Amino acid sequence: MSYEMDGVRHIGNIAQQPTGRLSKQTFTTKVMPAFGLGLLMTAAGAYLGLQMPRELFLPAIVVELLLVFTSGLWQRKEGLNQVLFFIYALCSGVTLVPLLMWASLSAGVGVIIQALLVTTVTFAGCAAYGLTTKRDLSGMGGFLMMACLGLIVAGIVGFFFHSSVMTMVLTVAGVGLFSAFTVYDMARIRNDYLDADWMGAALALYIDFIGLFTYILRFFGLTGSSRDD
C-alpha cells in the first residue's frame, strides 16, 4: 500500500504553479545539490527505519504527508525550507523500509541496486527530454493529476482484492506516470520557476525520482517472486 503514497505526495506538490524563469546557476548550485542531498537523507532514513519499531512508521507517514501538503508555505523560506525538506526526505526513507524489505525477500537484496540503477537512467533520460524539448507540455498537468488520482483509487481497490494481475498493471502504470511527471516537472522548472522557487524545484524532482524508484522496485520484486514460484 505504501507505494501508492507517491501519487498522494505528487498531488500535494503539483498544485504549486510558480511563474517566471529559474537561472541555470540556481539550478546547478541549489536545485541539484538539494536534490542529491535529499536522496542521501532518504538512504539514511531507510537505514534508521530498519532499526526503528514498527509503531513509528505511521508517525513518519503523517509527518511526510503534512510536509508535502504544506510545502507551498515553506518552500521560499530560506533556511527553514532546507531543514523541512531534509526532514521530509528522511521520513520518506523510513516509509520506504517495508517496500525495501518485501523486495529483498521476494527477489534478493541485489534487486534494490538494480532498481536504483534503472531508476537513475530512466530519470536522467526523462529529465533531459523535459529540459531540452521545444514542445509545450503545460497541458499535461491536468491529465497527470487525474491519472495520479486514478492510480491511487485503483491501488486502494487492489489492496483489498489482492489481484496479482491488477498489481502488475498498476505497477507498470506507475512507472509510466512518474516518467511523465519527470518530463513535465523538468519542463515546468525550466520555463515557469523563479530563482526563489529553487526548493520547490528540488522537491518536485525528488518526488518524481522516489516515485519512479518505488514502482520500478515493485516491478522487479513482482517479476522476481514470479520466477521463484
Distance separating alpha carbons of residues 24 and 105, to the nearest angstrom: 43
Domain span holding position 129: 2-228
Count Cβ atoms below 10 Å from residue 9 Cβ, excluding itself. Answer: 24
Residues 6+ apart with CB under 8 A from 60: 49, 91, 94, 95
Distance separating alpha carbons of residues 45 and 96, to the nearest angstrom: 9
Per-residue pLDDT of the chain (229 residues; tens, 9 = 90+): 444 555 555 555 554 555 558 899 999 999 999 999 999 999 999 999 999 888 888 999 999 999 999 999 999 999 999 999 999 999 999 999 999 999 999 888 899 999 999 999 999 999 999 999 988 888 888 888 898 888 888 877 877 777 788 889 899 999 999 999 999 999 999 988 999 999 999 999 999 999 999 999 999 988 875 555 5
pTM for the structure as a whole? 0.88
Number of domain units in the chain: 1
**Contact call for residues 118 and 221 (beta carbons, < 8 A):** no
